[in-house]
Amino acid sequence: MKKVGLLGGTFNPPHIGHLIMANEVFHALDLDEVRFMPNANPPHKQTAGDATNEQRAKMVELAIAEASHFKLELFELKRGGVSYTFETMQAMCDNEPQTDFYFIIGGDMIDSLHTWHQIDELIELVHFVGVNRPGTKAETSYDVQMVEAPVIDLSSTFIRKRIQTGYTLDYLLPQAVEAYIRKEGLYGATNATQRD
């Protein structure tokens, strides 16, 4: 069986926290690959200057370009609409019966796992892998395999705010992603790069 990690999210934008989390799980569980799976955002919910589904996919592609064990998974973007993890995983398991999926979640998601759509059925389809996040308990009655990883208090929201203030983005996200954000003028970015 192929062992595949899945890291879902908006990736709006992807940052080093996502990469570290995926890499730590990849090595800890000896996976064959980790796929980054952007979820679909309805076009009518996008605000001016926000990234489209295509732009978010492109940023993930740029972020993982140098890591051969990372892949872009477009399943939810191609499907469109609201995606329940259970429905996504049911379809992916049907498509790839020779694959064991390891669904990677942060501490905040672990705390709310009991609220997930059809969680009892979902837990039968995938192995949940948890990584701690600052300010979360990471506690659940469900079976979640915890992986120790450096805890970085970084979010896409923080990065978007940082872009709006024009302050440095150095070491917060891959340079190729920053260059793309500036070229596309996402999140109110300009072409100027702040270095102080």
Read off the pLDDT of residues 33-51 as tens digits, 9 standing for 90 and up: 999 999 987 655 566 678 9
Between CA 18 and CA 26 the distance in angstroms is 12
Angle at 77 between CA 74 and CA 82, to 5 degrees: 135
Helix (H, G, I), strand (E, B) or coil at 136: coil
At the topology level of CATH, where does 2-153 sit? Rossmann fold (3.40.50)
What residue spans define the domains of the chain? 2-153
According to the model, what pLDDT value does residue 50 have? 84
- Signed CA dihedral, 144, 22, 168, 11: sign only: negative
Between CA 19 and CA 68 the distance in angstroms is 13
pTM score: 0.91
Which amino acid appears at position 35 of this protein? R
Between CA 167 and CA 190 the distance in angstroms is 11
Q: Name the stretches of the chain with pLDDT < 50.
A: 194-196
Q: Taking a C-beta distance cutoff of 8 angstroms, is the pair 6, 34 a contact?
A: yes
User: What pLDDT, in 10s, does the model give residues 55-71?
Assistant: 999 999 999 999 999 99
